[in-house]
Amino acid sequence: MSVEEPHSTTGRKTTLSENTLFGMGNPLLDISAVVDKDFLDKFGLKPNDQILAEDKHKDLFVEIVKRSNVEYHAGGSTQNSVKIAQWMIQKPHKVATFFGCVGKDQFGKILKKKAEEAHVDAHYYEQNEEPTGTCAACITGDNRSLVANLAAANCYKKEKHLDLDSNWELVEKAKVYYIAGFFLTVSPESILKVAKHASDKNKIFCMNLSAPFISQFFKEPLMKIMPYVDILFGNETEAATFAKEQGFETDDIAEIAKMTQNLPKENKSRQRVVVFTQGKDDTVATVGERVTMFPVLDIDQNDIVDTNGAGDAFVGGFLSALVQDQGLEECIRAGHYAANVIIRRVGCTFPDQPDFH
């Protein structure tokens, strides 16, 4: 299967149209720099984590931009994933749509420009009250500690943006939906509206556990959406936290995947698929009644530049195959390929063309 000529599992060509894939989330500008343990300790950060910024992190944003090796990249988990999906698909442009909130400022302009360059059809809700959100990516070795200052991203309003006819039409055009769990902290009512639409129309709604704090502190909105989730993504740490919060009483990842698959579901005609990545270890996925392990691509430890964005890239690759009606195994293969490309580069960035067959 070449990228230019996608084939569906039946062997006929799937002609992709614009806005087939819909994503909604927190558009953030990533500010990434290599730091040391002292820097992490100073701000009380774990080497590998994702958290929301608190007052004690104010100086972190001041300090990180002064570092000699600082880089700026368009980020935000969902936006990363739809951008990678679009990159994997290449043509036509604008297969991927993205909604989120930015400020009317320089960082907002950069995000718009980056989305255009990636050929993603981004429709931002722009407001003046808060500046565009940022995410500090503090890199040590092959770990990354992410501190998100949502700012404008936190101001997304369903009635001011999603509900507008011209925007909702774009939602209706899509066949596959993806929203990272991070957006639960912003607008659960927007997620619910999109998830219900997908379920009612027998389309595919995908979600990500995103970070341990989502399962811990946003359990109620997460579990309100769960009955509508057709495909759930997460990594091993998020899966373990989710299992603990749900009282699954097991730390076996295959067992957790199975129990998550069996949680209540609205649209009975689609069995839920659960996909858990584990870094360099096998990806775990529910296939029908079984749980299957899919090995990741080998990579030399020295070739790993930055694992920030690996999870987003996996989802992006997966979604690119999914919108082309590929089976689960092929979706996972595309996900593994995309993640393998991303971890060789700083931030969630990619070469001009994918080399995926």
Percent of the chain clearing pLDDT 70 (strictly above): 96
For 276, phi then psi, to 5°, come to -115, 120
Q: Is residue 281 a contact partner of residue 296, using CB atoms and an 8 Å limit?
A: yes
pLDDT per residue as tens digits for the range 299-315 = 988 888 767 789 999 99
**Distance in angstroms (rounded) separating the CA atoms of residues 301 and 258:** 31
Residue 6 has pLDDT above 70, yes or no: no
**Distance in angstroms (rounded) separating the CA atoms of residues 120 and 101:** 15
Mean pLDDT, the chain, whole residue set: 92
Measured from the Cβ of residue 258, the count of other Cβ atoms closer than 10 Å reads 18
pLDDT per residue as tens digits for the range 37-50 = 999 999 999 998 88
Cβ burial of 200 (10 Å; 0-12, 13-18, 19+) is: exposed
- pLDDT given at position 14: 66
User: What six digits make up the tokens of 233?
Assistant: 């993504």
pLDDT per residue as tens digits for the range 220-268 = 999 999 999 999 999 999 999 999 999 999 999 999 999 999 999 999 9
**Of the candidates 24, 18, 14, which has an alpha carbon nearest to the alpha carbon of residue 327?**
14
Q: Is the dihedral of CA 213, 216, 221, 227 positive or negative?
A: positive
- What's the rounded mean pLDDT across residues 26-31? 94
- What's the rounded mean pLDDT across residues 110-133? 95
The enclosing H or E element of 96 equals strand 96-103
Pairing of β 121-127 and β 231-235: unpaired
User: What six digits make up the tokens of 239?
Assistant: 């899966």
Q: Is residue 287 a contact partner of residue 296, using CB atoms and an 8 Å limit?
A: no
Cβ burial of 227 (10 Å; 0-12, 13-18, 19+) is: middle
- pLDDT given at position 164: 98
Q: What is the pTM of this model?
A: 0.91
CATH domain 21-28+75-132+150-343 topology: UDP-N-acetylmuramoyl-L-alanine:D-glutamate ligase (3.40.1190)
**Distance in angstroms (rounded) separating the CA atoms of residues 113 and 102:** 13
Catalytic residues: 312
pLDDT per residue as tens digits for the range 71-93 = 888 889 999 999 999 999 999 99
- pLDDT given at position 68: 85
